[in-house]
Chains A and B, each alone.
Chain A
C-alpha cells in the first residue's frame, strides 16, 4: 500500500472553498472581456450596498433550511435527491393556499398555515421514498429523483393550467397581496424575517441532535445500522422520518420563498436550489452550525455568478461547475502523495 495523506474535515472544507474560488476567478478570466471588473462584480458587488447584501442574504435563507434537511438525511445515511421537486411542489401548494385563504385573515395565521402546508407537502413526498426503501428495498436516491421529476411535471402543468394568472404574460400563479408577504428587513432588498426562522430552526435541530434520545438514535442508525437494530432502535422508522424531515424542510424553504421574496409561484423558479442544498449539507460536514457558513458560501457563489452574468455576460451556469468542483474536494478523503517514496 502506498502512503497517503488523510484529509481531515477542516482541510477538505478549506480545499473545497479555496479551489472553487480560484476556479471562479479562472473562469472569469476565460470568459469576460474585462477581467478586473468581472472579478469585482463577482467578489465585491454582492457586498457593495444594502440592496445587494440583503438580496444575497435572502438567497442564503432557503439554502440554510433545505441544507439542514439534507444534513439530517445524510446523518442517517439517506441521500435525498428529490429536493428540486419537493421544494417546487410545496411552494405551489403553499402559494395556492395563500391565494385561496379569505382576504380578511390575519397575516400571521396565513403564514403559519402556508408554512405548515408547504412543510407537510415536502415531508409527504420525501417520506414516500423512505417508505419505498423500508418496504420494497428501493434505492432512495433513484426513487426520490424519479418522484421529483414526476411532481415537477405535474406542478408545471398546474402553474401553467388551472392556477395560471390570466392577467400575466409569464407562466405564473397570481400575485399574493403585499400585506400577506413576510415583513422585509433591509428594504428595499428581498430579505425578510424568514432568516430568523432559519437560524432558530438550526438551533432547534442542534439541541435535538445533541441533547435528545431521538437525535442520538438517528446518529446510531447512520453510523452502524446493524448495531442500531441490535439495540432495538426502529431503524426503518428513523429512515422514513429522516427522509420526511429532509423533504419537509425543502418544502418549508419553498413555502417561505412564496410568501416572501417571490410572492407567487413562477414556473421553474426554484431550479437548482435542490442541488445547491446538497452542496450546503456537504460543506457543513455533518454539523448543524456549519450549515450557516456553508449556505452563505454557496449563496455567495450563486449571487456572484448572477452579478457577472448581468455585468459581463458570463453565463450564470458557472455556479454548477463551481459547486461540482467544491463537491469533489469536500468528498475526497485522501490525497495521494505527489512523489512516491523510493523503495
Chain B
C-alpha cells in the first residue's frame, strides 16, 4: 500500500473509533430531545459513565462489568436530574448545568480519594473483543477501516438501529415523541407525559454512560475532563441530523472525522497542536450555524 493509502486508512479507521462515544451519547440524547427536553447534561453524564465504568472494569478486570457500572451510574444521575426537573419543577437547563458541575466534581474528588491522583488513572484491562474474525481485517482497505473494530464500536451502530426502531415503531417511542409534540394531548389520552420524559432521560443516561465508557476504554484510562466537549458535540449532532437517527449517525461520523483529522495533523504538521485541538469544536460550530433554522 502506498503511503497516502496508509494515512487514509488510519484516519478513517480512527473516525469510526471516535464516532463510537458520540453515537452512543447523541442517540441517547435524541430520546430526551424528542420528549421535548434539550439535554445539556450529556457531557456530565458521559463523564460519570467514563469514571464509574472504568473504575468497575479496573476493579473486576472485566469490561462487561464496566459496561454495567457505566450504564448504572449515568442512569442514576439522569434519574436524579429527572426527579429535580419533573417532581421539583426545576429549570431544565439549570438542572443540566448542575449535573455537569456535579459530574466534574464527583469524578475528580473520587479519583483523588480512590487513586490518589487528579491526573491520569491508567487501567490494565483485557484486550477489547474484536467483533469480526481476524481474517476479515486482511481485506485491503475495507478490512482495516471497517472490519477490525471492537464489539463496543459495533454495538454503537446496533444501538443506533435499535433506537431508530424503538422511536419509529413502538408505542413507547410514539409516546415519547407525542410528549415532545403535544404533552397536553398525551395527558388527555390518559398517559403520563412526565413518565415518558423520565423514560427518555433514562435512555439519555444509558447512551451517555456507554459513550463515556467507550471513551475511557479507548485510552484504557480515566482523566478528569476526558469528555472535553464531546457531550456538547453529541448534542449538536442531534440538531445537524434533524432528529433522525441515521442522519445523526452521519453527523457523528462527520465530527469524528474532524477529530481524527485533528489527531493526525497534530502528529504530522507544523500547525500548533493547541490550535488543531479546536478543529472539532470549529467544525461543530460551523455545522450548527449551517443547520440553524431561521425563525
Contacts and interface: CB of A to CB of B under 8 A. Distances in A.
A332 interface: yes
A67 to B, nearest CB: 14
B278 to A, nearest CB: 4
Nearest to A320: B105
B84 interface: yes
Contact of A137 (B87, B274, B293): B293
B268 interface: no
A137 B292 contact: yes
Contact of A335 (B88, B91, B108, B288): B88
A205 interface: no
A138 B288 contact: yes
A328 B95 contact: yes
A137 B290 CA distance: 10
A47 interface: no
A155 B81 CA distance: 34
Contact of B232 (A136, A145, A324, A335): A145
B108 A333 contact: no
B94 A321 contact: no
Interface residues of B, number: 43
A193 interface: no
Interface stretch (B125-133, B162-170, B214-222, B279-287): B279-287
B277 A137 contact: no
B244 interface: no
Interface residues of A, number: 47
A139 interface: yes
A303 B112 CA distance: 19
B93 A333 contact: no
Interface string A316-327: 011111111101
A35 interface: no
A331 B285 contact: no
A150 B90 contact: no
B289 interface: yes
Interface of B: 38, 40, 84, 87-91, 93-95, 97-99, 101-102, 104-106, 108-109, 112-113, 118, 229, 232, 235-236, 272, 274-275, 277-278, 281-282, 284-285, 288-289, 292-295
20 contacts: A81-B97, A136-B293, A136-B294, A137-B292, A142-B232, A142-B235, A142-B288, A143-B285, A145-B232, A146-B232, A150-B285, A154-B278, A275-B97, A317-B104, A324-B98, A327-B95, A327-B101, A328-B98, A332-B88, A336-B87
Given A319-B105, A332-B90, A333-B88, 4 more contacts: A141-B38, A145-B232, A315-B118, A325-B98
